[in-house]
Amino acid sequence: MSIATRRKLPPGPAALVILLALQALSGLGGGGVLVLDPSGGIIGMPITVLRHGPFVDFLLPGLILLLVLGVLPAIIAVALWTQSRLPAAAPLERTLGEHWAWCGAVVVGVGLLIWLAVELWMVGSSSLLLVYALLGLAIIGLTLTPGTRRFYQLAPTVPVT
């Protein structure tokens, strides 16, 4: 489906796109800062918070944050908004019956919750963890609502005989 023929987003899918865009901005900003300064100095995060984990600095966590919770949600948000199709995702779409980015939104929400669980284990709790946990749950919840799921459902294809 091209941008010119896309359907207007109803409130549920529109809210999902907004939440994914917010997560993308957060991931791009936070991950970018950690990649630029793996010591954590720019954001005032001491390296000592990593003592319980496998990392010696914030470079790898920053790259994960930048790519998985920054770039990926940005791509998913744009794809959900434009409803653009990806030929490489056709097998996934045939299996699920939904637009490939609908599945991607679930992955982003679950990925965010996993990130937060690891962060809680390694760094400890903070008030932001609750905010991001609610964001992850909201992304998953909005993706799975019947209206959003119905909007991104693909028309069944009839085999040509």
Indicate the SS3 state at residue 115: helix
pLDDT tens digit sequence for 89-125? 999 999 989 999 999 999 999 999 999 998 888 877 7
Contact 105, 148 (CB under 8 A): no
**Cβ partners under 8 Å of residue 121, min gap 6:** 52, 53
What residue segments make up the domains of the chain, in order of their start? Answer: 3-151
At residue 24, the pLDDT reads: 98
What pLDDT is attached to residue 1?
43
What are the pLDDT digits (tens) for 7-21? 899 999 999 999 999
For 16, 107, 123, the CA distances from 145, given in Å and listed in that order, are 11, 15, 33
Average pLDDT over every residue of 31-39: 96
CB 86 within 8 A of CB 100: yes
Give residue 22's pLDDT.
98
Terminal-residue alpha carbon distance, the chain: 24
Whole-number percent of the chain with pLDDT over 70: 94
- Answer yes or no: is pLDDT of 52 > 80: no
